[in-house]
Amino acid sequence: MLLNEESLSTWRRQAAEASGGTSSDDIYSTIEETLVDYQLGGSILDYGAGIGNLSKRLLSMGRFETFYAADLMDKPHGLDGVAWLKADLNDPIQGYDSYFDVVVAAEVIEHLENPRSMVRDMFRLCRPGGYLVLTTPNNESLRAIISLLARGHYVAFNDGCYPAHITALLRKDLSRILLEAGFRPPSFRFAQKGAVPGFTQFTWQGASYGLLRGARFSDGVLAVTQKPI
């Protein structure tokens, strides 16, 4: 399928809408915990805000003096106090060089065509000393690995997730991409919810009373890193 500029724009819009513009509560909770643990505040950009669910949660924390959100989708209702930047995130966001103390990208990088371009853009948007917090499906979980061996693809990148999910990354990939862009070596956390393969109504955490956690038992991974001063 050969896409011209107009059809490419339509394709990207359809892919954005296919994602639903939202993520899971466990991902959002992991982001909130990270922001608190790192005592982050100031100006924030919700990069890939979708329908605004995370923006609303982060606003309610009361940690940020100025709040921006960016997405290809139109600004949703109920986001008073949020400056909305309508943008195709496959392209750089213009006009905000070294502007943000915090950039959060929740479940965005797997949707975009060039993860390195995305991370370079977020590096440019961060102030010196600013932080990037990003999440993506954890392709190192038992569920993802079993899917790869049995079906030839990671569980979050099956046909039902396409064309929303197009770029599968491991922690090694994320580390390389972040370092290449100029960020400090990242730290990783895992959303403490992971579905049991073949029995996705159950989680490892529920079955083990919270004992099973980390890379093999979590469906989401979070990277946090800093732009050098």
Residue 166 sits in a domain whose CATH number is 3.40.50.150
Is residue 191 within 8 Å of 220, Cβ to Cβ?
Answer: yes
Indicate the number of domains in the chain: 1
Residue with tokens 């979708």: 50
Residue 96 has a pLDDT of 97
Rg (CA), the chain: 17
Distance CA 137, CA 144 (A): 9
CA distances from 167 to 119, 164, 190 (A): 13, 9, 19
Residue 146 has a pLDDT of 97
What is the arithmetic mean of pLDDT over 32-43? 98
- Parallel/antiparallel/unpaired status of strands 42-47 and 100-106: parallel
Q: Which residues face 42 on adjacent strands?
A: 64
Residue 6 has a pLDDT of 66
- Count how many Cα atoms sit within 13 Å of the Cα of residue 165 in the half-sphere of its side chain: 17
* Degrees to nearest 5, angle at CA 102 with 99 and 105: 110
Which two tokens mark 171? Answer: 């922690």
- Looking at every residue in the chain, the average pLDDT score rounds to 93
Residue with tokens 């070294």: 98
Distance CA 196, CA 180 (A): 35
| Phi-psi domain of 130 (left: phi exceeds 0; alpha: psi -120 through 50; beta: other) | beta
What is the arithmetic mean of pLDDT over 125-143? 98
- Count how many Cα atoms sit within 13 Å of the Cα of residue 35 in the half-sphere of its side chain: 29
* Domain enclosing residue 54, as ranges: 5-226
Above 70 in pLDDT, residue 211? Answer: yes
Above 60 in pLDDT, residue 1? Answer: no
Write out the H or E segment, with its range, that includes residue 222.
strand 220-226
Confidence of residue 2 (pLDDT cuts 50, 70, 90): low
Which two tokens mark 165? Answer: 């999910």
Residue 228 has a pLDDT of 98
Above 90 in pLDDT, residue 56? Answer: yes
Kindly report the length of the chain.
229
